[in-house]
């Protein structure tokens, strides 16, 4: 069976392809433009009608690294990504496992307890007050502890574990296995696909996070990557410099963007299928 290929259909196919090309170009062009500006000499960029540089100039990259602010911020961000994501996964695994046990007395209440937090939250100010009262302000932990669990991810985890046949655990229990050992030795290895996906969700979240750092951290030395980028764009040179330096130029700003985006862009094509799976897993429950 096949659709009769008349001219209308062929035209549609052709236009569709053009449309997709436009979609791709409009997605990629901003990055391309940023890249071009970042490797262009500043005099070229300031001229009217700039399209292509007269020569390749990496000096803005040198400047970007010169203050050490970016390296420090990279270190902070990597710490948050590694430690934060590990804790995220641990807590999400614990929660997802317990909440998946349908026969556990009170499990319905526990589930409700968690879901309610998705429907109603106290807002920014009370949240800020709580974190401040815990003396987390101006520590790197303010970026990790208040966001230990993402409820949406928790539900994904729970749904996945529920799909694992109970007989596996039942036979292990007969052999005298404790719940803790079952969780880490049986359930966790079987949950690798969803754990991989959630790891990536959490990791990207930490990499891109900036707002909590803005409201909780005043010490520049602790600033993560995105905050430093933002400060550079806002021309807050005192924020990132320890000595006198000229205000960041357009090219330096763009170099910073490239430096901070390259890891994600490089890693992304290999990992994107995990993200897509994650959306599906979430959608099944939704």
Using CB under 8 A as the binding criterion, the count of chain residues that bind other proteins stands at 90
For other proteins, the closer of residues 62 and 285 by Cβ is 285
Site string for other proteins, 238-277 (x = CB under 8 A): ------------x--xx--x--xx--xx--xx--x--xx-
Q: Does 146 bind other proteins (CB under 8 A)?
A: yes
- Residue 260 to residue 231: CA distance in whole angstroms: 13
Secondary structure element (H or E) that encloses residue 9, with its range:
helix 7-38
- Residues numbered 5 to 64 that lie near other proteins (CB under 8 A) are 8-9, 12-13, 16-17, 19-20, 23-24, 26-28, 30-31, 33-34, 37, 45-46, 48-51
- Residues numbered 115 to 144 that lie near other proteins (CB under 8 A) are 117, 119-130, 132, 134
Q: Find the radius of gyration of the CA atoms of the chain.
A: 25
Q: Own/partner pairs for 97-100, CB < 8 Å, 24+ apart?
A: 97/157, 97/161, 97/183, 97/187, 99/154, 99/158, 100/158, 100/159, 100/161, 100/162
- Residues numbered 156 to 185 that lie near other proteins (CB under 8 A) are 178-180, 183
Q: Which residue in 94, 186, 190, 196 binds other proteins (CB under 8 A)?
A: 94
- Residues numbered 59 to 88 that lie near other proteins (CB under 8 A) are none
Closest to 240 (Cα-Cα) out of 259, 222, 254: 222
Cβ 161 vs Cβ 155: under 8 Å? no
- Residue 79 to residue 19: CA distance in whole angstroms: 42
For other proteins, the closer of residues 243 and 248 by Cβ is 248
Q: Does 193 bind other proteins (CB under 8 A)?
A: no
């Amino acid at each position: 069976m096949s659709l009769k290929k008349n001219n209308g259909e062929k035209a549609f196919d052709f236009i569709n392809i053009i449309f997709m090309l436009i979609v791709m170009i409009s997605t990629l062009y901003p990055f391309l433009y940023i890249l071009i500006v970042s490797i262009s000499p500043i005099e070229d960029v300031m001229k009217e009608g700039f399209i292509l540089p007269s020569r390749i100039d990496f000096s803005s990259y040198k400047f970007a690294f010169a203050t050490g602010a970016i390296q420090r911020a990279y270190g902070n961000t990597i710490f948050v990504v590694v430690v934060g994501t590990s804790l995220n996964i641990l807590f999400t695994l614990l929660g997802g496992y317990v909440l998946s046990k349908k026969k556990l007395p009170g499990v319905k209440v526990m589930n409700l307890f968690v879901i309610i937090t998705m429907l109603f939250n106290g807002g920014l100010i009370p949240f800020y007050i709580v974190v401040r009262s815990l003396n987390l302000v101006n520590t790197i932990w303010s970026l990790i502890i208040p966001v230990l669990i993402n409820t949406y991810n928790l539900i994904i985890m729970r749904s996945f574990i529920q799909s694992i046949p109970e007989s596996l655990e039942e036979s292990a229990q007969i052999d005298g296995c404790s719940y803790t050992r079952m969780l880490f030795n049986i359930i966790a290895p079987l949950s690798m696909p969803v754990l991989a996906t959630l790891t990536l969700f959490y990791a990207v979240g930490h990499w891109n996070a900036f707002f909590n750092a803005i409201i909780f951290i005043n010490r520049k030395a602790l600033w993560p990557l995105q905050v430093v980028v933002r400060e550079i764009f806002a021309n807050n040179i005192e924020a990132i410099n320890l000595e006198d330096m000229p205000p960041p130029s357009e090219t330096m700003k763009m170099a910073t963007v490239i430096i901070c985006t390259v890891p994600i862009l490089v890693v992304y094509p290999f990992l994107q299928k995990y993200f897509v799976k994650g959306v599906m897993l979430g959608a099944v429950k939704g």
